[in-house]
Chains A and B, each alone.
Chain A
């Protein structure tokens, strides 16, 4: 029987009550007395030299408090990048300045030129129209290949060219070359991983406040990691020490990575509030979000697989151009390198792997992590390539994968990571059962009878989550540790507040985390609340991204709870006049082993706060413990996905008929939440595969900046999913045995969709079609069929 509480149960999400009844408290719901509003005047050219910005007329307009330009930020730090990548020559990446407001040049459509602070938003917008900006438009670097060509327009004049870094990683060159020399077959594929815009439901908001009374700044912001923002903005941009800077990220309506980063608007509102001694609020419009939220993906890749005569994978090499956009966003440099190259082994025992990545500056919005961050790019190219190889060799794509699976663990890949555990055969077996592979031929015949083509696409994926071991990522260039922290505060009555460094913006932490503590203590979940998102309430935390919250912060919470149990047992031992070693905790009762002598959880907590009868000489009163947890390895969720499409050869329209996901997330705390996470990830992956793309024209004008032109997936674009996570191999190195489930759906689904489309086309005789770039729109399919 399924559990009804604790780990493994599926209580409904308690936070949904407030979200669904309009009681959520989002950043835009926060208003502070005396608040002003800022409107950013943004560049509408992709690249230009700022000759002058005249604010004289605008400054005199009604309601204007002050207008800021780049000159106001002379001597103020720029927005920092959190990860220094070292190139293949041992040189650090190029790291151009990223001013809060543009100085000298504008480098992408949306680059902020001036900020008008006024009594109302309307007055700020009106005054912005009156600012006279003289910008000399310059030729723009938009396409990555063109941006690297000799004589291309330079995004940053102080750099020698637009190359941020040329990175190489993996096996020795000689081993890779040897594999390709002796290969019986080489499969090559060139593809694009399309640029995406994350589009969280809630656009970004920042509200800066300053208290002259204690010289303290507060920033309310839509962030996935308030402490990271405090660190980056306080230390690198504005020079405010931590004890004078509070960052609050209240309810956040979706992040998907794009709310990890420290943005100019956050620094501006905090800075301006100090300057004018009034709160300053910015609320992004959807149009602004398209041109100021960091974008995702945007890789162009050539990948080659060497196979021996028995179809064993013997070598893999990749060559990728990765778009950085105009500036280095917070974690942008790490995405195409360490979050991508380290996953190139996939689920396969390929012995020699080499990854080459050139990161390129262009006059486009900065690109950074988006749900999966580097791992979807790795998975897509590898799993498309394996599918193409199977087709070229005339072998079954599932059999080819099975033949090359890693089957013994731990397994050290040639790309620097060690998979602790996994069972790829089990997830593939499960998948074949879920998708009813045996019945596929009959379904294909049914489709063909209707004049349609039907295709089945299968792929595997692996990702590295639970980011990350600090000592390892430090060696790789991370400028921060990636541990997390939790404080378990037990109150006198036995109720508990758990302050966690992870931030919940859709993940359901407020429901799942108490299940863990409740299970450990044997008390009811309703006695436990999660507190998150406020640097003044939480001891510390590195936030939520990379499917890390439960694996890293949850582990800190377990450690802190263990400390609570240890101390509570001492108190119980005193109350029961027994040795603490003999005290057992079960179902919220402390019992002397082998006796019926016991005290309840509440008796112990009360004694801790009302220590009339208490071992004061041995232990302190109170019951509150903090733990920091730094993982010893990444976690490696993995699985196998299948997609079945129907394709209308008349129009090229693809519809997804069936989709199955067999995931290994290790142990699962709340299966319902996990299923929801997978559903959401699948929708985003299917969106990337069939619908979404962010387009620029050759001048760097952003063309898809509204929902008229940027096609988000809707309910009728996705099927009912079959989702399973029963093939669990628990993580071996964290106390919960969990791996993380937040990104898998978005990582694993795009290749399944495209593989299915290619399969459908081949079944219809269109065997010349070996690849179609995403989004696989009807136009592209039709063109490929008739190309």
Chain B
């Protein structure tokens, strides 16, 4: 399946770029991610627990960053093996464009599943993949900007009156 979307993040492009390369950010953003280690250069090893329809599995996989054109474009690709549940793999081409409000993050995602996931979940896999991507980029946006819903997490007022996400706080103090 393929999908594409974009969202505006209220942060400078360099900061968004930096966040994408940060394993802590990735770990916090990948839905169901319980472990993530590695570096942008060597790629990241990840463990993700997810439930797709009737199939719940622990996926162990490797994520690589490639086609890096700082600070504009990069490709995230990965494959996760879920043992008896089958596998999921996919990639996202991410483009960052400077806009008035901050940074426009556009992504094109393609995802594939195999084995039991495909056999049992094919009807729901498109919706699932879209949900995963939405969640990932929402988490990513929240990590930088702070949660969109102020009830969800305590926010820290910054000097300019904007709420801040934890990543923004970390890098901008």
Contact = CB atoms under 8 A, between A and B. Distances in A.
Interface of A: 44-45, 109, 125, 128-129, 287, 290-291, 695, 697, 699, 701-706, 708-709
B119 A706 contact: yes
B113 interface: yes
B87 interface: yes
6 contacts: A44-B87, A109-B119, A125-B84, A699-B112, A703-B118, A708-B120
A708 B84 contact: no
A232 to B, nearest CB: 29
A291 B115 CA distance: 10
Contact of A44 (B116, B120, B122): B116
Contact of B114 (A701, A708, A709): A701
Contacts of A291: 119
Contact of B119 (A45, A129, A287): A287
Nearest to B120: A706
Contacts of A702: 118-119
Contacts of B120: 287, 705-706, 708-709
A666 B118 CA distance: 47
Contacts of A705: 116, 118-120
B114 A699 contact: yes
A704 B119 CA distance: 6
Interface in B100-156: 112-116, 118-120, 122-123
A708 B116 contact: no
Interface in B58-97: 83-84, 86-87
Nearest to A697: B118
7 A-B pairs with the lowest CB-CB distances in the bound complex, closest first: A44-B115, A705-B119, A701-B118, A703-B122, A129-B83, A44-B86, A44-B114
A704 B84 CA distance: 17
Contacts of B83: 129
A45 B114 contact: yes
The binding surface of chain B is classed by DSSP as: helix
Given A44-B86, A128-B84, A129-B84, A709 B122 contact: yes
A701 B118 CA distance: 6
B113 A701 contact: yes
A404 to B, nearest CB: 44
Contacts of B114: 44-45, 109, 699, 701
A541 to B, nearest CB: 36
B113 A287 contact: no
A702 B87 CA distance: 13
A128 B86 CA distance: 13
A699 B89 CA distance: 13
Contacts of B119: 109, 287, 290-291, 701-706, 709
B51 to A, nearest CB: 15
B101 to A, nearest CB: 39
Interface residues of B, number: 14
A751 to B, nearest CB: 29
Given A129-B83, A708-B120, A708-B123, A109 B112 contact: no
Q: Which of B87, B113, B115, B123: most chain A CB closer than 10 A? A: B115
A109 B84 contact: no
A703 B124 CA distance: 11
Contacts of B115: 44-45, 109, 701
Nearest to B124: A708
Nearest to A45: B114
Contacts of B118: 109, 697, 701-703, 705
Contacts of B86: 44
B122 to A, nearest CB: 4
Nearest to A702: B119
A430 B122 CA distance: 46
Contacts of A701: 112-115, 118-119, 122
Contacts of A697: 118, 122
Nearest to B123: A709
Nearest to A710: B119
Contacts of A695: 122
Nearest to B83: A129
Nearest to A39: B84
Contacts of A704: 119, 122
Contacts of B84: 125, 128-129
A107 to B, nearest CB: 15
Nearest to A46: B114
A126 to B, nearest CB: 10
A590 to B, nearest CB: 63
Given A701-B112, A702-B118, A703-B118, 11 more contacts: A44-B87, A44-B114, A45-B115, A109-B114, A109-B118, A290-B119, A701-B114, A704-B122, A706-B120, A708-B120, A709-B123
A129 B115 CA distance: 14
Contacts of A44: 86-87, 114-116
A699 B86 CA distance: 14
A624 B146 CA distance: 90
B116 A287 contact: yes
Nearest to A125: B84
B87 to A, nearest CB: 6
A498 B83 CA distance: 50
A138 B28 CA distance: 34
Contacts of A708: 120, 123
Contacts of A287: 116, 119-120
A291 B86 CA distance: 14
B114 to A, nearest CB: 5
A706 to B, nearest CB: 5
Contacts of A125: 84
A699 B84 CA distance: 19
A709 B122 CA distance: 8
Contacts of B122: 695, 697, 701, 703-704, 709
A572 B107 CA distance: 93
A697 B87 CA distance: 15
Nearest to A705: B119
Contacts of B113: 701
Contacts of A699: 112, 114
B138 to A, nearest CB: 28
A106 to B, nearest CB: 12
B125 to A, nearest CB: 9
Nearest to B118: A701
A129 B116 CA distance: 14
Contacts of A709: 119-120, 122-123
